[in-house]
Amino acid sequence: MEKYSITTAIDYVNGEPHIGHAYEKILTDVLSRHYKKRADKTFMLTGTDEHGIKIQKTAKSLNITPKELCDKNASAFIENWKLLDIDYSKFIRTTDSYHKKTVQDIFEKLLENGDIYKHKYKGLYCSGCECFLAEKDLDEAGCCPIHQKKPDVVEEENYFFKLSKYKEKIKEHIKNNPNFIQPDFRVQEVLNQLEDIEDISVSRAKTNVEWGIEVKSDPTQVIYVWIDALSNYITALGYDVNGNHGQNFIDFWPVNYHIIGKDILKFHSIYWTGILMALGVELPKGIYAHGWIMIDKNKMSKSTGNVVSPKSVMEAFSLDKPDSLRYFMATSAIGGKDGNYSDDDFKEKVNADLANNIGNLLNRSLNMLVKYFDGEIKEEFINDSLVKETNTVIKEVLDLFDKMDITLAASKIVSLADEANKFVSEKAPWALAKEGKLDECGKVLYSVLNLMIKVALLIEPFCPNIAKDMALQLKTDINKKYFEIEDYMLKTGKLISKEEIHPVFLRLDSEIAGKSKKN
């Protein structure tokens, strides 16, 4: 694979990041890290959406400027992603000067091409969604179904994008490209939404919304979210309306995937697609809509007070590294459905998979190697036990990533450690050593440790710190590409001493878990 690029949705900075934001960033980062082991060049984009009436109102209530509010909350997102080891290539803020300039140029180009027109409009506006809603979109009480509030009746003169002009073309693209919208059960939902699609407002009167990017040719208007926020995917890469694109745009557009929440699929699959068609820009290869993360099976809500932040989870469990949270979140939802977080589920899953399974297997295998062979791998230990099974799982994991089935891919990796644990139980290397069958004992330990090198390489996108620690003890390069994986990767000679052995992951309920930073 020559190149792979992926984006998250950009987060609205009206508040601080919660575990739902973290889920999307972790999922995207796991994908990006996986493909770093398969592609020559990769790019991951994330960032923040920083304009609109909500930010304007919140800043006013706090007696600060909108930019001050954006700076404060954007910093919180950056801090949290650093805490979670999100290895993005670029972080865009829609208040960045280059973004604002290119957005203005995009607006003027669409206006010049006749894809934008000015129109007086009266409609139902949900400030929570920051969009106009049709009456059919409301619930029985006349409220926005997401924010449970009645929309405001807004009457003003705005610029509109001729989305209806591209309706049939969008429909045709979706039908001719079955992988464009994923998971596939979302496709019909989008096609149904397309049936009633109308032109969309792409500006707001400055008398109503001051905090935004001005329309260059009409300073009485500010550019609305559909062109401002959505355009981040190309402005961040260096798109230029005159074709003088930056190198990142040349290298990484179209992206392999936009990773977004299911609640904004319509805006990406229809609105953004229409805008790109109007600009004559190639469409992204895919849009993946993930579900929401529930808290103890309830939807997160400020009003119910069940909003959980990634930082609070790490502090509650005294985590020095984010690997356990990354692993749990990346595997918490299946196939684009909703996932669930609870402290008990978190502890149970990571203890079972990371501590009891992978971590314990590596630790006891290395200790037996030291006990019986002074930590040395001898030439006569090399054998092909577990190699065939491992190669099968490696292929399955790569295929599952290509199908965006990250949860099942993780379970396949863990199944390798399961297989090795069963192998150890059946072969009982401690008994073989006691009986004086040292060559047979050595072969068992070689098979397991050789397999664990591959587990480390495969689990690295989920758990970069644990994988690095595993690789260090197994004397292998964690940055190896997947095509460099060989049948026999465990090197002969002195592997490890007793002093070098340490647990790569402690159980979350262990008395010493999380205490290392205090000692």
Q: Active-site residues: which are they?
A: 18, 21, 126, 129, 144, 147, 299, 302
The Cα–Cα gap between 204 and 121 comes to 11
- Residue 29: which of 310, 277, 246 has the closest Cα? 310
> How many Cβ atoms are within 10 Å of 238's Cβ, its own excluded?
18
In order of 117, 197, 201, 204, the CA distances from 120 in angstroms are 10, 18, 10, 11
Measure the CA angle with vertex 413, ends 30 and 260; round to 5°. 25
- Residues across the chain: 519
Q: For 168, phi and psi rounded to 5 degrees? A: -70, -35
The single-letter DSSP state of residue 339 is E
Task: Establish whether the linkage from the previous residue to 254 is cis, with ω within 30° of 0.
Answer: yes
Find all residues with CB under 8 Å of 507, minimum gap 6, and list them: 351, 355, 356, 513
> How many Cβ atoms are within 10 Å of 74's Cβ, its own excluded?
20
> Do the beta carbons of residue 298 and residue 306 sit within 8 Å?
yes
The Cα–Cα gap between 59 and 352 comes to 45
| Tokens of residue 110, six digits | 């669409």
Torsion of CA 61, 71, 53, 108, to 10 degrees: 150
Q: Which amino acid is located at 56 in the chain?
A: Q
| Tokens of residue 125, six digits | 């506006």
The Cα–Cα gap between 340 and 345 comes to 9
Chain-centre distance of CA 361, in angstroms? 29
The Cα–Cα gap between 519 and 511 comes to 13
Query: If 0-12 CB within 10 Å is exposed, 13-18 middle and 19+ buried, where does residue 54 land?
Result: middle
- Residue 358: which of 433, 486, 457, 487 has the closest Cα? 457
The Cα–Cα gap between 249 and 491 comes to 42
> Do the beta carbons of residue 234 and residue 255 sit within 8 Å?
no
- Residue 397: which of 388, 389, 406 has the closest Cα? 406
Torsion of CA 27, 30, 35, 38, to 10 degrees: -150
The Cα–Cα gap between 323 and 335 comes to 22
| Tokens of residue 357, six digits | 């399974």
The Cα–Cα gap between 450 and 322 comes to 26
The Cα–Cα gap between 519 and 512 comes to 10
